[in-house]
Each structure stands twice: as structure tokens, then as C-alpha cells.
């Protein structure tokens, strides 16, 4: 008989929320502002995520904590939509971008920033219902490659040309007449 000793497992320590410095929080806000004001209707990319973070942070030391907070953009999400997503993260850390202040230093009561988040130019990224089944790929409509010649239209035959030299001769496939496809 096998006896397994019972022991008391230590209680898991609660996961501490990520501590974000005021500077990083301000950088989050700047990322939102930059993306909302610069081509918010274009598609957001991983490259734009990295470039915007680097542009805002300016130093590698400041970039590291900032890039950790920026999610990878979902497929087919616009820069403006991504900015809204980041703005929610910024809000968790005590800041957010709600449009630029006017000359007197007053934030607009109702932010009215043209193009923020920007109208979609393509359908919603997550349409309801099952994912559409992709149609036939164009390659499937192409003629099948010739089997005897593996689609090469023939084969290169090496023969002895004498005096230590070789001769390469391309022999045309008789099945496909050199076309490589049937
Ligand atoms: Zn052939």
C-alpha cells in the first residue's frame, strides 16, 4: 500500500496589479493621442505598435514598460479603434486622452476630434456568426502538373562527352510535350 503524505500547500500570493510609473502612464496617453490624430482610419499593425511606442518613449529604458502594456493589434482593427483600446488601459492607470485642450487649457466638454476613432472603411473585424468558409484558392484552378516529368516538361540527361567532360541534354517529356502540365 502506498501512502501519500499530505501536506498543506502554501496559499497562492495574490497577483499584484502591474505598477506603472506616472511617466509610463503619460506615454500610454501619448500613444492614444498619436494614433487618434495620425491616420486613425488606417489598419493598425504590429509595426505601427512598435514605431509609435518608440516614437513616444524616445529611450529604450522608457520603451520597455510601455511596450509591455500595449496589446498586439487584432486583425483588421483601425488605428483609431486600437487607440480606444489603449485608452481604456491608460484609464486603468489613472490617465486617458479625451481630446486636446483648447488655448485656455480647458478640455472640451464633449471631445470632438475629427476622425477619432475614425469611420471604418471595411466591415467590422468580428462579424457575428460562424466564420466564412474560404473559397477555392486560385492555384487549385491551375492545370495539374505532368506526373512523368514532375511538371518540369522533361529531364536533363547527363552523358559522357569524352576527355573527362560531361554533356547535359534536356530531353523533352513525351507525355506533356514539354509543357509540364496536362
Ligand atoms: Zn511531362
Q: In this predicted structure, what is the pLDDT of residue 38?
A: 87
Question: Separation of 156 CA from ligand 1 center, angstroms?
Answer: 13
User: pLDDT exceeding 90 applies to what percent of the chain?
Assistant: 40
Eight-state DSSP code of residue 141: G
Q: In this predicted structure, what is the pLDDT of residue 7?
A: 59
* C-beta of residue 79 within 8 angstroms of C-beta of residue 118: yes
Per-10-residue mean pLDDT for the chain, 182 residues long? 58 63 93 90 92 92 94 92 93 88 60 56 59 57 80 88 89 91 84
Q: In this predicted structure, what is the pLDDT of residue 88?
A: 92
Residues paired with 15 in a beta bridge: none
Nearest alpha-carbon partner for 96 in 23, 26, 41, 44: 26
Domain ranges of the chain: 22-92, 142-182
Question: Separation of 138 CA from ligand 1 center, angstroms?
Answer: 22
Write down the pTM of the prediction.
Answer: 0.52
Question: Separation of 150 CA from ligand 1 center, angstroms?
Answer: 7
Note the pLDDT tens digit of each residue in 154-169.
988 888 888 888 899 9
Other CB atoms within 10 Å distance of the CB of residue 85: 19
Question: Separation of 154 CA from ligand 1 center, angstroms?
Answer: 6
Q: Which three cell numbers stand for residue 115?
A: 476622425
Instruction: Write out the E strands in 14-164.
Output: 154-162
Q: In this predicted structure, what is the pLDDT of residue 159?
A: 87
Question: Separation of 145 CA from ligand 1 center, angstroms?
Answer: 8
Q: In this predicted structure, what is the pLDDT of residue 45?
A: 92
Question: Separation of 153 CA from ligand 1 center, angstroms?
Answer: 5
Amino acid at each position: 500500500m502506498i501512502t501519500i503524505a499530505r501536506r498543506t500547500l502554501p496559499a497562492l500570493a495574490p497577483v499584484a496589479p502591474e505598477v506603472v510609473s506616472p511617466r509610463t502612464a503619460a506615454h500610454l496617453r501619448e500613444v492614444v493621442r498619436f494614433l487618434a490624430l495620425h491616420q486613425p482610419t488606417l489598419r493598425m499593425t504590429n509595426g505601427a505598435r512598435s514605431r509609435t511606442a518608440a516614437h513616444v518613449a524616445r529611450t529604450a529604458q522608457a520603451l520597455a514598460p510601455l511596450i509591455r502594456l500595449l496589446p498586439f493589434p487584432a486583425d483588421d482593427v483601425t488605428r483609431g479603434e486600437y487607440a480606444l483600446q489603449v485608452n481604456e488601459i491608460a484609464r486603468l492607470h489613472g490617465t486617458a486622452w479625451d481630446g486636446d485642450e483648447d488655448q485656455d487649457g480647458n478640455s472640451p466638454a464633449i471631445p470632438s476630434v475629427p476622425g477619432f476613432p475614425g469611420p471604418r472603411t471595411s466591415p467590422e473585424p468580428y462579424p457575428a456568426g460562424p466564420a466564412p468558409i474560404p473559397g477555392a484558392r486560385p492555384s487549385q484552378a491551375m492545370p495539374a502538373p505532368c506526373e512523368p516529368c514532375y511538371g518540369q516538361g522533361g529531364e536533363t540527361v547527363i552523358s559522357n562527352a569524352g576527355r573527362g567532360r560531361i554533356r547535359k541534354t534536356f530531353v523533352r517529356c513525351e507525355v506533356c510535350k514539354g509543357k509540364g502540365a496536362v
